[in-house]
Structure 1
């Protein structure tokens, strides 16, 4: 009987010790999690130049829409109700990573840094995949990447004295991949800088983007636009 009682007591004591150890472990883990990004205020998107929410912190208020100069970013905490869009290049270009509301993220993995080139806050994750919102009312905007991402060029309407067409020569350095026509007129694109030309030996005439429309330009037109004109009806395209 004595051996039985001793065995029971030792088992009970062992179980109690295990429970205490597990409890201590759980408390320590919880404290470690809570310590991550402890200084990021509510309603702010916090960017740190150190990993794990360390180093210098920069706060971006919820509702901020403009692109920001990223600088050195090694970790972030999203304490806003919006999605954070993180891009590998300036002007919303390059690779994309998203941070949902309430989450943090790290940009150094196994010693390898993922460079953040630009970022923005948006209401839904789908809006991370576009950059058309940068184009203002009354502008013709072209972009270096799909879906309005990458470097943006604004082409302000101007009357050509010789042709009386409205448009701008793009020059060979501008190769639009996507377009937003945020004007009240239709937009006719041409492969020549003088508002003329066709594609594929005349098989395709002017490439048209209707008023208020945005588009990722398909082949064979991608990167070939050199001028445009704004017209009231698509039949007016050259």
Structure 2
């Protein structure tokens, strides 16, 4: 059989084409960009000051938290086994974003930045909605927002010189939206700084004190939220003014 020059040319072209295809599939560009968030280590909650996992990265281990000064955070990757709770204000206040284990989140949408004020890592998503755990044993703690969230004030009991009551008097900047009484006494809250004042309840009855029993934590009813100006510790609720 005689092989013509045309057949030789076709064979050479086919070999060249196969070589080109192989090089296309086997050779990757040397400067390929990494996938978003792929640099976040296992067991870490990674915060980035750029979107899509770019910029400077800050790593937080499981159980970590920052109640304030969270810094510039434009995206996160939760590479832990815990839920990440991300808040719009310091001390777990303001709006809330929850990040499931293994998920990422973005805080810049259409040019609008969602500010991160604080964060914490917790075992269950339900714990993102409260901040009561900050209150230590044997303390009365009041919070600026519902469910123990927002700025917390820890009250050290003092004897009032006028009434000799064991408690505290305070202004509007401390007036609570929620309370945890972690003492062995009951707490009586009052509308006035001098442990006095009355209000009418939903049952049309007048009350002189709002009581939080020992060991209880509550969100103050809407009509009373932010109105308390003093409280005292008592052994029995009949001791309230």
Tell whether the structures are fold-level matches, with TM greater than 0.5: yes
Q: Is contact 1:199-1:220 (8 Å) kept?
A: no
Secondary structure at 1:63 match in 2: coil
1:14-93 equivalent positions in 2, closer than 5 A: 35-65=35-65, 67-93=67-93
Within a 5 Å distance, the mapping from 1:150-161 to structure 2 comes to 150-161=150-161
1:237 paired residue among 232, 236, 240:
240
Confirm or deny: 8 A CA contact 1:65 1:122 kept in the other structure. no
Counterpart check, 1:212 vs 2:215: yes
Helix, strand or coil: the match of 1:189?
A: strand
The number of residue pairs the alignment matches comes to 211
Whose strand fraction is larger, Structure 1's or Structure 2's? 2
SS in 2 for 1:183: coil
CA distance in 1, matches of 2:237, 2:108: 51
Once residues 172 and 112 of structure 2 are traced to their aligned partners in structure 1, the CA distance between those partners, rounded to angstroms, is 37
Aligned 8 A contact 1:44 1:80 in 2: yes
Higher helix share: 1
Q: State the partner residue of 1:165.
A: 165
User: Which is greater in Rg?
Assistant: 2
Which aligned pairs between 1:119-134 and structure 2 lie closer than 5 A? 119-134=119-134
Give a deviation string over 1:120-145, Cα, whole Å, max 9, x none: 11110011111111111111111111
Contact in 1 for aligned 2:66/2:118 (Cα 8 Å)? no
In 1, the alpha carbon distance for the partners of 2:93 and 2:221 equals 19
Which of 206, 209, 230 does residue 227 from structure 1 map onto?
230
Q: What is the aligned-residue RMSD (CA, Å)? A: 2.2
Q: Distance in 2 between matches of 1:147 and 1:98?
A: 16
Unaligned runs of 5+ in 1: 1-19, 25-30
Residue 100 of structure 2 is aligned to residue 100 of structure 1: yes
Cα distance change on mapping 1:39 and 1:68 into 2, 3 Å = farther
Q: Could you tell me how far 1:110 is from its partner in structure 2?
A: 1.5
- SS at structure 2 position matched to 1:133: helix
Question: Secondary structure at the residue paired with 1:35?
Answer: coil
